[in-house]
Amino acid sequence: MTDLQCPATAILLAAGAEPPSWLERRRVAARFDLTDPCDVSAVVEETADRFRGETFVVAAPSGAIALALRRWGLPGGPPLLVDVDSDGWRPAP
């Protein structure tokens, strides 16, 4: 069965990098700046539960973001938008 709740959208950014221009067009509920070492996957999962239907930003070291994406079978790295719900992570439109 699929998740009936609205997914949260996580914007994953590399720590210290210039934010992409498209970020200005997004309504962001919260921003979280993580330091190394960090478990980006755990932070995103926990935060998505609190921000269903909203968008939040996680800025973290690029390597930590890439590791989190690989855990969910997603290629690439930051900057990236992902929808997160109980069914997992998938690229956001």
Query: 40: domain range?
Result: 8-91
Distances (CA, A) of 21 to 2, 26, 36, 79: 33, 10, 25, 11
Number of folded domains in the chain?
Answer: 1
Q: Confirm whether 1 is domain-assigned.
A: no
Q: Give the model confidence (pLDDT) of 46-91 as tens digits.
A: 999 999 999 999 999 999 999 999 999 999 889 999 999 988 999 9
Instruction: With CA atoms as reference, report the closest residue to 8 among 55, 78, 43, 71.
Output: 55
What would the two tokens of residue 34 be?
């993580």
The string of pLDDT tens digits covering residues 7-23 is 999 999 999 999 899 99
In a domain, 3, yes or no: no
